[in-house]
């Protein structure tokens, strides 16, 4: 596990439990591959299908979770359809991988945050992302 990052069980497909360290969020965009998948590699411009859970650093309740909806999400990656933190960390990983991503505001929702989701402009957000498929 990368130093300073939350602890997450590495079971692909299982709803994640995210345990935050006492320390502040790491600086910059960080990604840890918890499980290395053996499927096709995701490339910029691909349409990926993922399960994910997003939590504000240090909080317990997710602000968004496809796991909770039991419905994966699909979108084009690397082309600006999602936040920069996703566009820069998901490509290059294989289908079947579980990623833990720490995203500072400048790679997430910016200085305005996403108030409707409870995300402040200074908040680092954390995602657990399971890459289900790519095409």
Q: Check residue 58 and give its pLDDT.
A: 96
From residue 67, alpha-carbon distances to 18, 85, 105 in Å are 13, 20, 24
Q: Check residue 74 and give its pLDDT.
A: 98
Rounded distance between C-alpha atoms, residue 86 and residue 84, angstroms: 5
Q: Check residue 3 and give its pLDDT.
A: 79
Q: What are phi and psi of 34, to 5 degrees?
A: -75, -35
Rounded distance between C-alpha atoms, residue 73 and residue 59, angstroms: 23
Per-residue pLDDT tens digits of the chain, which is 135 residues long: 577 999 999 999 999 999 999 989 999 999 999 999 999 999 999 999 999 999 999 999 999 999 999 999 999 999 999 999 999 999 999 999 999 999 999 999 999 999 999 999 999 999 999 999 999
Tally Cβ neighbours within 10 Å of residue 67.
Answer: 18
Residues 100, 43, 66, 111: is their CA dihedral positive or negative? positive
Q: Are 46 and 134 contacting, i.e. CB atoms less than 8 angstroms apart?
A: yes
Class of domain 7-134: alpha beta
Q: Check residue 120 and give its pLDDT.
A: 97
Using a cut of 0.75, tell me whether the model's pTM lies above it.
yes
Q: Check residue 133 and give its pLDDT.
A: 98
24 Cβ contact partners less than 8 Å away, ≥ 6 residues apart:
none
């Amino acid at each position: 596990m990368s130093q300073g990052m939350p602890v997450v069980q590495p079971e692909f497909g299982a709803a994640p439990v995210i345990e935050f360290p006492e320390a502040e969020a790491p600086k910059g965009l960080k990604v840890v591959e918890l499980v290395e998948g053996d499927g096709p590699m995701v490339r910029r411009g691909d349409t990926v299908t993922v399960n994910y859970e997003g939590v504000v650093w240090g909080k317990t309740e997710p602000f968004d979770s496809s796991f909770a909806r039991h419905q994966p999400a699909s979108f084009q990656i690397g082309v600006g359809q999602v936040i920069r933190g996703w566009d820069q960390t998901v490509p290059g990983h294989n289908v079947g991988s579980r990623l833990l991503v720490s995203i500072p505001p400048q790679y997430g929702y910016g200085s305005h945050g996403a108030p409707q989701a409870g995300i402040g402009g200074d908040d680092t957000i954390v995602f657990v992302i399971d890459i289900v498929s790519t095409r």
